[in-house]
Amino acid sequence: MRRLAGRVGILAVVLALSFVALTAQADSIVNGGFEAIVVPEGSFQTFNLGEMLMGWTVVGSPGNVAIVSGSYTQAGIVFPGEEGQWLDLTGDGSNRQTGIEQTVDTAPGTVYTLSYSVGNVVDPNGLFGTTSTIDVFIDGNFLLESTNSGGGTTQAWDRYSGSFVANGSSTTIRFLNGDPLFDNSNGLDDIRLTHASSLTLAEARFNQVPELSPSFLLTSGLLAFALLNAINGYAFRFNDQQSASLRLPLK
Ligand SMILES: [Ca+2]
Ligand SMILES: [Ca+2]
């Protein structure tokens, strides 16, 4: 019974350490839903190359992007956000490879999942095109391209995600418009950055514990050191596996 109690105690410590490690780098995106700058109801506000929009900087080709009210309509087309306001990467008739970027704090060697929603309307005979494509870059390296071809005369949203391993203590995330010049709408909303597969990682770390020698570790005073090494060792192998799954959108 005493041995059983000891094992339960060790498992509890491991779970606690895993929980701390997995929640320390929760969503660190600022203004991921484009609600921080409130634009007039039913209207929009443009931001030119180099300008800031609360957490984001306009980058890419010379042009602009626009924060759009969730009640905006034009030419019989309705443009709700995924939630509230949204960002139109085509701006106000800009339609270039312009976009936004943000630099966030990251832990080197850690796997992150970036997720976001792309909004599209289908307007084959009008201004707004039939598809919406967003290209995503991490520290200047292409991560994934996501195309939403859903919706109709009301903007429809679809969710996409990609994973990457952070190289340094900060990482720059960039979204660029990938629509053609004649397409005047490309929605972006609800950008989030979290650890990848946190539940699977926690379970994997839990399963590592029986391979340790609890009695030796307890008496030698090396318990915390050994547990952290075990956790970190597994994390590196996990990262190596995850790096092979880059560029995989959810849908
Ligand atoms: Ca929003
Ligand atoms: Ca479009």
Q: What is the pLDDT of residue 26?
A: 54
Q: Cα separation of 22 and 14, whole Å?
A: 12
CA 180 to centroid of ligand 2, rounded, Å: 8
* Gyration radius of the chain over CA positions: 22
pLDDT digits (tens, 9 = 90+) for 107-135: 999 999 999 999 999 999 999 999 999 99
CA 241 to centroid of ligand 2, rounded, Å: 34
234: amino acid identity, one letter: Y
- Ligand number nearest to the C-alpha of 31: 1
pLDDT digits (tens, 9 = 90+) for 136-177: 999 999 999 999 999 999 999 999 999 999 999 999 999 999
Domain 44-195 belongs in CATH node 2.60.120.260: yes
Q: Cα separation of 174 and 127, whole Å?
A: 26
Q: Cα separation of 170 and 177, whole Å?
A: 24
CA 161 to centroid of ligand 2, rounded, Å: 19
Q: What is the 3-state secondary structure (H, E, C) of 10-78?
A: HHHHHHHHHHHHHHCCCCCCCCCCCCCCCCCCCCEEEEECCCECCCCEEEECCCEEEEECCCEEECCEE
Q: What is the 3-state secondary structure (H, E, C) of 64-128?
A: EEEEECCCEEECCEEECCCCCCEEECCCCCCCCCEEEEEEEECCCCCEEEEEEEEEECCECCCCC
